[in-house]
Amino acid sequence: MKKRFLPMLAAAVAAAPSFLLFGCAPRSQVLKIYNWGDYIEDSLIGEFEGWYKEQTGEHITVKYDTFDTNETMLMRIETQKADYDLVCPSDYIAERMIKSGLAKKVDAEIFDPKTPDLFYDGLADMVAPFDENNEYFVPYVWGTFGIMYDTNKIDAGSEKAESWGALWSDEWKQTTGKRRVLMKDSVRDAYSVAMIYANTDKLAGLSDGFTDYNAEYRKELVSYFSEVTDDTLATAQKTLIEQKKAVCKYEVDDGKNDMVAGTTDAYLGLFWSCDAGLIMLEDGGDHFYYTVPKEGSNVWVDGWLIPKYAKNEKAANYFLKFINTHEFAAINFDYMGTSIAVKSVMEEAKIAMEEDDEFFEGFYDGFKQMYIDMMFPSETVIARSAVMRDFGVKMGTALDSMWIDVKTS
């Protein structure tokens, strides 16, 4: 049974969703949303329809569809010219859509994404490189990328897991006879981590041994997330091939479940904070630890865009206003169990967690602080993190080819 974050905020929403019943309603009365699966509290759809009527005096019905990959969503918009009014791409696909003219500006008269203190500290700066004036992309859900490990095998807070080098270490193979590392079967994530690990000494020098995450350090880190060249591809490929001595499995999304169930040899692996947070609150997930390595990492941000072929921009903008309103954002946060963009909700949730010892009963010593640090990254963690950029189609293809070579070598 999953624990709830903020039951005091998750008040029942009575309105029944009608997003499957749009029928023959005029297109001006239909809002078409294309989102990741399980990425919104279902009752909020029906709640929005009633809220929209209160705000505008007009009827609206939501047609809500889901996708499982960024590429699937992009194909629907780019190739098929699907007329969705809102989509929820990851940062790098949002950048591609903005650059290629596949996105429309948010209507600041209805919802102003530049509202002071609306979004969690640092998020606006993170997305500024591809949406400089915050006119297109509205952050929704975000988190960090790090290492999660089993505290039954590695002591909680162990220094040996505070570095990306842990994912390259064959220590556990030498002592146990088995490979113990799970690696994401994701070329972008594998590439970024490999580039950081390959340049550990350089990053250490720029940051005074990872104690001062200054402008020079950040410039170097960002370069690993924003460009791909023949030389960096070669470096990443060599580094990832070296890692294979420690990897027991390349996994897409089942690794977290394998670790909870104990059906994998892995002691540790590469994880998104959202996945780590979810399994820690499930039965059997109370013995894991998550950390963002000292060398640096990437922050991922999924957010809303109004696509080029949208037919109901008015309703789309009102939905952006709705989903970022404190009351509804709090309900969504409680349901999703991961970091959201709305600053006031995050601040309230952090205080609630810090004051609630009962919520963390039954977990190991230090779990509470680790969990809070994971859900609400500190300024220091943000300072050593950056958003990965879109590498473009050509270099993206080259990355895919490199990754195939790594896994088949």
| CA 151-155-157 angle, 5° bins | 100
Is 21 a member of any domain? no
pLDDT band at 5 (very low <50, low <70, confident <90, very high): low
Is 1 a member of any domain? no
Q: Which of 286, 296, 299, 276 is nearest to 368 (CA)?
A: 286
Same domain, 258 and 387: yes
Same domain, 189 and 336: no
More confident residue, 280 or 10: 280
Same domain, 115 and 156: no
- Eight-state DSSP code of residue 3: P
Q: In 140-229, where does DSSP find H-type helix? A: 171-176, 187-198, 200-206, 215-226
Is 8 a member of any domain? no
Same domain, 121 and 166: no
* Residue span of the structural domain in which 90 resides: 27-142+301-352
Is 6 a member of any domain? no
Model pLDDT, residue 99: 95
Same domain, 327 and 368: no
CATH of the domain at 347: 3.40.190.10
pLDDT tens digits for range 367-376: 999 999 999 9
Same domain, 234 and 96: no
Same domain, 127 and 154: no
Same domain, 240 and 385: yes
Same domain, 341 and 384: no
Model pLDDT, residue 330: 95
pLDDT tens digits for range 286-298: 999 999 999 999 9
Is 290 a member of any domain? yes
Same domain, 171 and 224: yes
Helix (H, G, I), strand (E, B) or coil at 102: coil
Average pLDDT of the residues of the chain: 91
Same domain, 66 and 201: no
Q: How many domains does the chain have?
A: 2
Distance CA 362, CA 368 (A): 10
Distance CA 311, CA 364 (A): 52
pTM of the complete model = 0.91
Q: Look at residues 314, 333, 352 and tell me which one is the last residue of a structural domain.
A: 352
Is 403 a member of any domain? yes
Same domain, 130 and 195: no
